[in-house]
Amino acid sequence: MSSAVPSSSEIGTVAAAPGTRRGVVLVICAPSGTGKSTLVQRLVAEFPSFSFSVSCTTRAPRGQEREGVDYHFLSQEDFLSRRERGEFAEWAEVHGNFYGTPLAPVQEKLRQGVDVLFDIDVQGAMQLKESFPDGLYVFLFPPSREELERRLRGRGTDAEDAVLRRLAGAAREMGMAPRFDHWIVNQDLDTAYDELRAVYLAGRSRPENKPGLLREVLDTFASEDA
């Protein structure tokens, strides 16, 4: 899938607001049935300050969906125009409708020191990597094909052909795993969560996410020397 997002050289590193750390982009991908949603919910419960980006879509609102809360609802003409201007961090066409993550709001959240979490498919993750090359990209594996099949069948929500499609899709998605920075196997939920939590906290401590820290501490030494 191609995208019209600016290159990493055009975007560069998102600068932090004065006196704050820079926010972290955390991207988590996994085949359906691996347990990604459970881990994401657990992470957000422990770190409720995570922000989720409100996506744009060309489909009509459903049920009680609200503009600016669930989605930004755009005409196809408006969406494609924004895409051509490079306003999406990632985008995709699904069943004839377009979906995309606005780039500018994510950049602003990062500048303010807010961490942004993406629960997304592998194609979207690779587009995000163009926009945010210094993000944390995590691929979550099932322990085996047999265990993934057991979990999919255990949900009781998919017909036989759907289960087989998901298993085939899982193999294709895992073929993209080498492009991710961190690999986690969800065999034991607590262990997998500990590893995901460690990735996130380590990412927050990187020097580029604390741009003013060194100068702040060194300034205290300078004042003592004076």
pLDDT higher than threshold 90 for residue 226: no
pLDDT higher than threshold 50 for residue 33: yes
Region of 52 (left: φ > 0; alpha: ψ -120 to 50; beta: rest) is beta
Task: Return d(Cα 223, Cα 226) in angstroms, integer.
Answer: 5
Tens digits of residue pLDDT in 35-63:
998 999 999 999 999 998 788 999 999 88
Better-scored residue on pLDDT, 148 or 21: 148
Rounded to the nearest integer, the mean pLDDT of the chain is 87
Beta strands 88-94; 97-102: pairing state: antiparallel
Average pLDDT in the 76-82 region?
96
CA atoms within 13 A on the CB side of 86: 8
pLDDT higher than threshold 70 for residue 15: no
3-state SS class at 188: coil
Band (79; pLDDT cuts 50, 70, 90):
very high
Residue 72 DSSP one-character state:
E
Residue 18: the pLDDT is: 47
The structure's pTM equals 0.80
Residue 224: the pLDDT is: 62
Helix, strand, coil percentages for the chain (3-state, nearest 5): 45, 15, 35
Residue 16: the pLDDT is: 55
Tens digits of residue pLDDT in 92-147:
887 789 999 999 999 999 999 999 999 888 988 999 999 899 999 999 999 999 99
pLDDT higher than threshold 70 for residue 7: no
The one-letter amino acid at 69: V
Give domain 8-53+113-213's CATH superfamily: P-loop containing nucleotide triphosphate hydrolases (3.40.50.300)
Residue 29: the pLDDT is: 94
Helix 36-46 vs helix 189-204: crossing angle, to nearest 10:
50
pLDDT higher than threshold 90 for residue 3: no
Counts of helices then strands in the chain (DSSP H, E): 9, 8
Spacing of C-alpha 48 from chain mean position? 16
83 close to 4: Cβ distance less than 8 angstroms: yes
pLDDT higher than threshold 90 for residue 186: yes
